[in-house]
Amino acid sequence: MGGRDEKDKWIVRSQAGIGQTLEEVLALRISRRGMLKTMAIGGSLVLIGSSLSAVEEALAANPGLKFKVVKPTDPDFDDVVVPEGYYARTLIRWGEPLYADAPDFDVWLQTPEAQVKQFGYNCDFVGFLSLPYGSNNSNRGLLVVNHEYTNEELMFPKYDVENPTRNQVDVGIAAHGMSVVEVVRAPDGTWSYVRNSRYNRRVSGFSATRLSGPAADHPWMRTSTDPGADAILGTLNNCAGGKTPWGTVVSGEENFHQYFANLNGLDRNDARYAVHRRYGMPTAESERKWERFHSRFDISKEPNEGFRFGWCVEIDPYDPLRPVVKRTALGRFRHEGATFVIARDGRVVGYQGDDAQFEYVYKFVTNGKFNPRNREANMNLLDDGVLYVAKFNADGTGEWLPLVYGQGPLTPENGFRSQGDVLINTRLAADLVGATKMDRPEDVEVNPVNKKVYIALTNNTRRGASGQPGVDAANPRPNNAWGHIIELTERNDDHAATTFRWEIFILAGLPTQEHTYFVGFDKSKVSPIGAPDNVAFDNQGNLWIATDGAPRAIKFNDGLFAVPVSGSQRGNLQQFFSSVAGSEVCGPEFTPDNRTLFLAIQHPGEGSTFENPSSTWPDRQGLPRPSVITVQRFDSGVIGT
Ligand code: FEO
Ligand code: CA
Ligand code: CA
């Protein structure tokens, strides 16, 4: 999909009976603030940017980004690229030992016992939490890293996808989850991880976790081997996440459905069938076939196990003994992640995306307030609050619609008998209240400088296809192979508000493609970008965007991009980093001083095999290894400046 020849096809599709033309849809968005004008010339669209008002310009003074742009690399190029004056180093790789008694990595001797003591596979979210707690230390801290999933065909020699062995299955389960690992920066700038730190911790698909919040006691949480629903085994498909104001990390269980099998073995009249179906549970065998060795993954044998996944998971990196808790109040869906901010009145707000085509953007607002003086007082804040889902109106306004049992359509007539029902079946609840179906919501994060919320929508090639929802103002492109970014402004910049305004910030793609848009900035000066996924902000409030899927969208490797959100450079997106063959870039995470950038290089070599890998990064010894890297300046300066 995508590519340089897409333009003509795309224009045809955009007019192919989906209600509105591109011009009409985009005109809704770009006339709003009077910043831009559209002109339809000969049936094609031309965007003319004008600068922000003088007042906004003055308010938005931004020293800008100063680095030498990185050129995109071809999808078979197997190395990382950083700007001139910068260097990248591998910090920790799949299989590195996290404990004194953990064995060194040996790809030929993998066991689950070893893997649960080693850094897991496919690193995604990276959170840096300073040590000691409460400090702003940029030289020592804890990295919390998600291990989203496994690529068995790259992990194991001669892997037979039809007949995985028990050992391969158990290593795979063990390689999922999360790692907490202490990291230190030496005086010469070199980062290393501390193998025997007392903070180091592995949470895997086997680890004991527990449930809390309104759905924790729901009958559907009980299984034959765990009738009390108090021994939840593991966390799976941990994708992105966020740090809370009290120094914990919340990790999103994303594509959890893929580990379950045999929905067809469940009676179609069983109420659970429709819910599992809405969440995409496989009707027959699962891809990894874990169900052959662990019946909890077989829906026909254990119909409720799947309800114990798809949650936000909270971990305290500062206390290795504190249980990992699935916070059901934040809803159940394919959580990309959750990112947290304190609202004006002290309540805590968590923004979330459900990363699937035509799914929703959510936020959770706690009932209680953050207590900055007593850390313990915040530890159960996420169990009590209101979950909202976003509705984007065509006029640039929007509403946060509450998903509260008994309100609106969320009543017994529609199958909801408790808040637990609403949360377990969050997607159906969101359908009923009329939320806006989005183009795969990934990271949703608040810019700490301008307080606006940025929503990465990675792509949706089914948008506008026959039988599927057509374009709307917030998802303006049919066959959206490139993704886009929305900028959302809460009413009065209050994150607990129930109304907002929004506008399109970027329509990704090759800048030469007519339908791309960089908030009015001169497109001849920006970098190509496809499939925005993880976002972050530097201390100046510049937006950093990591991509997942650029090879398909624009025929280049995934990368990291930076773009000012204010001032005359607003929209001037520049590529900062290019990743290796087959990989996506995750994190990104800065130290508080912005002098180190952590990036997770996930699934290098994906699409190839152990015997014939398309990537041998970073070791150049046969197989690729997902790893977290550091990016720094040779002069130790602030990244991006
Ligand atoms: Fe796991 Fe939505 O990326
Ligand atoms: Ca992601
Ligand atoms: Ca991703």
State the distance from the centre of ligand 1 to the C-alpha of 236, rounded, in angstroms: 12
Share of the chain above pLDDT 70, in %: 90
State the distance from the centre of ligand 1 to the C-alpha of 353, rounded, in angstroms: 10
Nearest atom, ligand 1, residue 584 CA? 3
pLDDT band, residue 23 (cuts 50/70/90): low
List, for residues 318-330, the tens digit of each pLDDT value.
999 999 999 999 9
Asked if residue 161 is part of any domain, the answer here is yes
DSSP letter string, 291-308: GGT-GGGBTTT-TTGGGG
Asked if residue 372 is part of any domain, the answer here is yes
Asked if residue 369 is part of any domain, the answer here is yes
Share of the chain above pLDDT 90, in %: 90
pLDDT band, residue 22 (cuts 50/70/90): low
State the distance from the centre of ligand 3 to the C-alpha of 534, rounded, in angstroms: 8
CA distance 520 to 566: 12
Nearest atom, ligand 1, residue 442 CA? 2
Asked if residue 51 is part of any domain, the answer here is no
Indicate if ligand 1 lies below 6 Å from the C-beta of 148: yes
Nearest atom, ligand 1, residue 458 CA? 2
Indicate if ligand 1 lies below 6 Å from the C-beta of 336: yes
DSSP 204: -
CA distance 396 to 383: 32
Buried b (16+ CB within 10 A) or exposed e, 552-588: bbbbbbbbbbbbbbbbebbbbbbbbbbbbbbbbbbbb
CA distance 216 to 328: 7
pLDDT at 607 over 80: yes
Indicate if ligand 1 lies below 6 Å from the C-beta of 355: yes
pLDDT of residue 56: 41
Q: What Å distances lie between residue 411 and 217, 389, 417, 430, 459, CA to CA?
A: 19, 17, 6, 13, 33
Position of tokens 């040779």? Answer: 634
List, for residues 187-211, the tens digit of each pLDDT value.
999 999 999 999 999 999 999 999 9
Going by alpha carbons, the residue nearest to atom 1 of ligand 1 is 239
Give the ligand whose atoms come closest to the C-alpha of residue 531.
Answer: 3
Rounded to an integer, the average pLDDT of 156-175 is 98
pLDDT of residue 63: 60
Domain count along the chain? 1
The angle formed by the CA atoms of residues 265, 269 and 270, to the nearest 5 degrees, is: 70
State the distance from the centre of ligand 3 to the C-alpha of 499, rounded, in angstroms: 29
pLDDT band, residue 424 (cuts 50/70/90): very high
Reference 350, options 434, 453, 423, 440; nearest CA is: 453
Asked if residue 177 is part of any domain, the answer here is yes
Give the ligand whose atoms come closest to the C-alpha of residue 606.
Answer: 3
List, for residues 115-129, the tens digit of each pLDDT value.
999 999 999 999 999
CA distance 387 to 407: 12
Indicate if ligand 1 lies below 6 Å from the C-beta of 456: no
pLDDT at 7 over 90: no
Report pTM. 0.92
Ranking 18-32, 234-248, 286-300 by mean pLDDT, the lowest is 18-32
Average predicted confidence (pLDDT) for the chain: 92
C-beta separation of 57 from 51 below 8 A: yes
- Please give the residue range of the domain that contains residue 523: 7-30+61-254+310-633
Indicate if ligand 1 lies below 6 Å from the C-beta of 443: no
CATH of residue 420: 2.120.10.30
pLDDT at 1 over 60: no
Position of tokens 């309800």? Answer: 307
Position of tokens 């498909």? Answer: 237
List, for residues 433-455, the tens digit of each pLDDT value.
999 999 999 999 999 999 999 99
C-beta separation of 282 from 263 below 8 A: yes
The angle formed by the CA atoms of residues 284, 285 and 290, to the nearest 5 degrees, is: 145
Give the ligand whose atoms come closest to the C-alpha of residue 335.
Answer: 1
State the distance from the centre of ligand 1 to the C-alpha of 255, rounded, in angstroms: 8
Indicate if ligand 1 lies below 6 Å from the C-beta of 538: no
Asked if residue 301 is part of any domain, the answer here is no
pLDDT at 4 over 70: no
Give the ligand whose atoms come closest to the C-alpha of residue 255.
Answer: 1
State the distance from the centre of ligand 3 to the C-alpha of 532, rounded, in angstroms: 9
Indicate if ligand 1 lies below 6 Å from the C-beta of 254: yes
Pairing of strands 484-490, 397-402: unpaired
pLDDT of residue 348: 98
pLDDT band, residue 601 (cuts 50/70/90): very high
Pairing of strands 627-633, 597-602: antiparallel
pLDDT at 25 over 80: no
pLDDT at 389 over 70: yes
State the distance from the centre of ligand 2 to the C-alpha of 254, rounded, in angstroms: 9
Nearest atom, ligand 1, residue 239 CA? 1
Nearest atom, ligand 1, residue 124 CA? 1
CA distance 193 to 202: 14
State the distance from the centre of ligand 2 to the C-alpha of 432, rounded, in angstroms: 27
pLDDT of residue 420: 98
Give the ligand whose atoms come closest to the C-alpha of residue 558.
Answer: 3
Indicate if ligand 1 lies below 6 Å from the C-beta of 600: no
Asked if residue 261 is part of any domain, the answer here is no
Nearest atom, ligand 1, residue 534 CA? 3
State the distance from the centre of ligand 1 to the C-alpha of 123, rounded, in angstroms: 11
CA distance 418 to 408: 14
Indicate if ligand 1 lies below 6 Å from the C-beta of 399: no
pLDDT of residue 64: 76
State the distance from the centre of ligand 2 to the C-alpha of 255, rounded, in angstroms: 10
DSSP letter string, 597-611: EEEEEESTTTTS-SS
Give the ligand whose atoms come closest to the C-alpha of residue 258.
Answer: 1
pLDDT at 258 over 60: yes
State the distance from the centre of ligand 2 to the C-alpha of 228, rounded, in angstroms: 33
Paired with 92 in beta bridges are 628
CA distance 219 to 227: 9
Asked if residue 641 is part of any domain, the answer here is no
Indicate if ligand 1 lies below 6 Å from the C-beta of 253: no
List, for residues 169-180, the tens digit of each pLDDT value.
999 999 999 999
pLDDT at 54 over 60: no
C-beta separation of 304 from 222 below 8 A: yes
Structure-block tokens of residue 569: 């450079």
State the distance from the centre of ligand 2 to the C-alpha of 367, rounded, in angstroms: 28
Rounded to an integer, the average pLDDT of 303-326 is 98
Indicate if ligand 1 lies below 6 Å from the C-beta of 442: yes
pLDDT band, residue 37 (cuts 50/70/90): very low
